[in-house]
Amino acid sequence: MNGYSLFRRSRLRLALWYAGVMGVILSVSGLGMYRAMVQTNWAAMEREIESIAGTLHDSVEPLLPASEEPTAVLQQIFPDLCLSGQPCKATPTLIQRHTIGISDRTTYYIRLFNHQGKLLAFSPNQPLSLPPTLNRSSWQTFRTANGIRYHQFTTILHSANTHHLANEANSSWGYLQIGRTLEHFDAEIRRIQWIMAIGLPIALSLVATSSWWLSGLAMQPIYQSYQQQQQFTANAAHELRSPLASLLATVEAILRIPQSNQQDMQIMLHSVERQGRRLSHLIADLLLLTSLEQNSGAKPFQPCCLNDLVSDLTEEFLELATAADINLKSQIPTCEVYTLGNESQLYRLVSNLIANAIQYTPRGGYVTVSLVKSDYTAVITVKDTGIGIGLADQERIFERFYRVDGDRSRKTGGTGLGLAIAVAIAQKHQAILKVESQVGKGSIFTLEMKVLSSSILTN
């Protein structure tokens, strides 16, 4: 329970860190996109204003005389503009509108000033709160009393006869000022802000949900490893406790036996030796598993002849098979088959498979060890006519200390680590170890590994 609580807290912390980091990234990215969109739209709007101002400037400037009453000239050039100090009538025709060059009269307005900054003419739709004096800044942004923002651009106008008067103090004819309302721009910005205000919390909630789910996926193998470690510790303690308890009981019994009773003492000493060997084998197997998993003390792989491996092991186990009244035979191809690996570990792997096959095959049965080579792989098969393995047990036989028949394994001296060691060695050699079995009909263990090409062997 404490372990589960620990992993739950770790999962929560991992989810919070992930959600926090992703939230910061999303927030910064959203703010950056928002700023980029605002600046892009603002720059596009200013370019549009400058383009319109340039068009009007180039169209109007040649028509402006150097010295003449400006009112009459402005009425001819801009018939739809209102003259300062005179009644304003806004009845522009299509031709007049084209002359000014602005089609959207509700968005843009024009103001004309003389070189002294006095207002001469203006569009009927200009903001009412604009002052009659000139602000000579190129760009101005202001807000009217009703809350509408405007952005305007001011450029200098020269008459046709004043371009050569560069040395005169007042060579300009006047100023052209073009402005536009920012209602559409502000509405678009508000729409983006609403999208971000609604979308960002939704995105953050999705990030939080996915963070919790992903942290669960990330913690799952760690939790499974923790459970396996706990199970392994419990199994190892159980396996060590039985021979240790038997060993201590035998030692206590020896201490109570009179020195004259040598026969009983010898029997008990043999029992102590047997339990000690069992403990020694168990510890050796545990150390081997640890070294395989940690890859400690690993020697570089060398070419190994699988023909010799199968032949030697069949010969080695022949006496054991004969004593158990089991027919052990091997099938080896004539051509030599080599693989790259650790020879002693491969011997241990195949010997565990053969030992298990002999152990779980009844008297009069058969155990066949065969080696088959294809183009790129070599397959070692250990087939027996033993008791077989149930389908549910086949998924667990490679676990540490798992026994299909626990009582029989303990009587025969098994530690429950043989197949776990075999699959660890197979994984280290990038080989595949599989089992096929039927209860009462026997089992087939198959080891598939890569073969070494003849070109590598000759080099």
Q: Rounded to 5 degrees, what angle do the CA atoms 409, 414, 418 make? A: 120
Mean pLDDT of the region 414-419: 73
* Burial (CB count <10 Å: 0-12, 13-18, 19+), residue 251: middle
- What's the pLDDT band for 167 if we cut at 50, 70, 90? very low
Q: Which segment of 56-70, 192-206, 318-332 scores lowest on mean pLDDT?
A: 56-70
Longest dimension (CA), the chain: 148
Measured distance CA(166)–CA(368) in Å, rounded: 111
Contacts by 213-220 with C-beta closer than 8 Å and gap 24+? 214/15, 214/18, 215/11, 215/12, 215/14, 215/15, 215/18, 216/11, 218/14, 219/7, 219/10, 219/11, 219/14
CATH topology classification for 302-458: Heat Shock Protein 90 (3.30.565)
Percent of the chain whose predicted confidence (pLDDT) is above 90: 20
Mean pLDDT of the region 419-442: 88
Residue 43 has pLDDT above 90, yes or no: yes
> Is the model more confident about 228 or about 459?
228
- In the prediction, which pLDDT does 98 show? 43
- In the prediction, which pLDDT does 94 show? 42
- In the prediction, which pLDDT does 152 show? 92
- In the prediction, which pLDDT does 380 show? 93
Residue 191 has pLDDT above 60, yes or no: yes
Q: What are the distances in angstroms from CA 439 to CA 130, 222, 382, 386, 435?
A: 99, 35, 16, 8, 13
- What's the pLDDT band for 165 if we cut at 50, 70, 90? very low
- What's the pLDDT band for 379 if we cut at 50, 70, 90? very high
- What's the pLDDT band for 75 if we cut at 50, 70, 90? low
Measured distance CA(455)–CA(397) in Å, rounded: 38
Mean pLDDT of the region 386-404: 79
Residues facing residue 108 across a β-bridge: 180
Give tens-digit pLDDT for 101-154.
454 567 888 888 888 888 888 888 888 778 888 888 889 998 888 888 999 999
Tallying the residues shown for the chain, one arrives at: 459
> Is the model more confident about 319 or about 417?
319
Residue 76 has pLDDT above 90, yes or no: no
Measured distance CA(302)–CA(346) in Å, rounded: 11
- In the prediction, which pLDDT does 55 show? 84
Residue type at position 104? D
Q: Which CATH number fits domain 2-161+168-190: 1.20.950, 1.10.10, 3.30.450, 3.30.310?
A: 3.30.450
The token pair that represents 459 in the structure block = 């080099």
The token pair that represents 38 in the structure block = 């605002």
The token pair that represents 346 in the structure block = 């491969």
| Phi, psi for 119 (deg, rounded to 5) | -70, 125
Residue 382 has pLDDT above 70, yes or no: yes
- In the prediction, which pLDDT does 100 show? 47
Give tens-digit pLDDT for 265-312.
777 777 777 777 777 777 777 777 777 776 666 678 888 899 999 999
Dump the DSSP string for 252-318.
HHHHHS-TT-HHHHHHHHHHHHHHHHHHHHHHHHHHHHHHHHHTTTPPPPEEEEHHHHHHHHHHHHH
Q: Which segment of 219-223, 245-249, 439-443, 444-448 scores lowest on mean pLDDT?
A: 245-249
Residue 368 has pLDDT above 90, yes or no: yes
Provide the phi-psi class of 297: left if phi over 0, else alpha when psi is between -120 and 50, else beta. Answer: left
Alpha-carbon dihedral 212, 217, 221, 226, rounded to 10 degrees: 20
Q: Which segment of 89-98, 234-243, 270-279, 370-379 scores lowest on mean pLDDT?
A: 89-98
Average pLDDT over the chain reads 80
The closest alpha carbon to 333, from 305, 373, 303, belongs to 373
Where are the chain's structural domains? Answer: 2-161+168-190, 302-458
Measured distance CA(94)–CA(88) in Å, rounded: 18
Mean pLDDT of the region 19-36: 90
